């Protein structure tokens, strides 16, 4: 949309809300792609036991926390969001792993 303003250029709550709504749509598209990678992982991983990887989970959350800190964002709140995102991704990957291997 061409009428979406950069946050620094917003002059009304209508501007802000339009920007938030557009950003939410972009986030949904990114989540769609991320969960597509979970489908790919479910297809590629050889065993159900390999779906949950706590070391990888910690690395992803730590990376999100560090990126948030570098951007001046609330790092712990974002780390909490990422924990929920990763857990939802793992649950989805388990569902996909099971679905693709049903007899």
**Binding site for substrate: what residues are annotated?**
17, 34, 45, 93
Eight-class DSSP state of 52: -
Q: How far apart are CA 21 and CA 10, in angstroms?
A: 14
Interhelix angle 54-71/75-100, nearest 10 degrees: 140
Tokens at residue 43, please? 């297809």
Helices (H), 1-103: 13-44, 54-71, 75-100
Helix (H) or strand (E) holding 91: helix 75-100
Residue list, annotated binding site: 17, 34, 45, 93
């Amino acid at each position: 949309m061409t009428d979406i303003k950069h946050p620094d250029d917003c002059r009304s709550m209508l501007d802000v809300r339009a920007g938030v709504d557009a950003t939410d749509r972009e986030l949904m598209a990114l989540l769609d792609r991320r969960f597509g990678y979970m489908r790919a992982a479910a297809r590629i991983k050889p065993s159900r036991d390999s779906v949950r990887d706590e070391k990888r989970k910690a690395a992803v959350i730590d990376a999100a926390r560090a990126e948030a800190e570098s951007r001046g964002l609330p790092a712990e709140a974002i780390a909490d969001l990422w924990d929920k995102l990763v857990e939802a991704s793992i649950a989805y990957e388990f569902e996909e792993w099971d679905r693709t291997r049903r007899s």
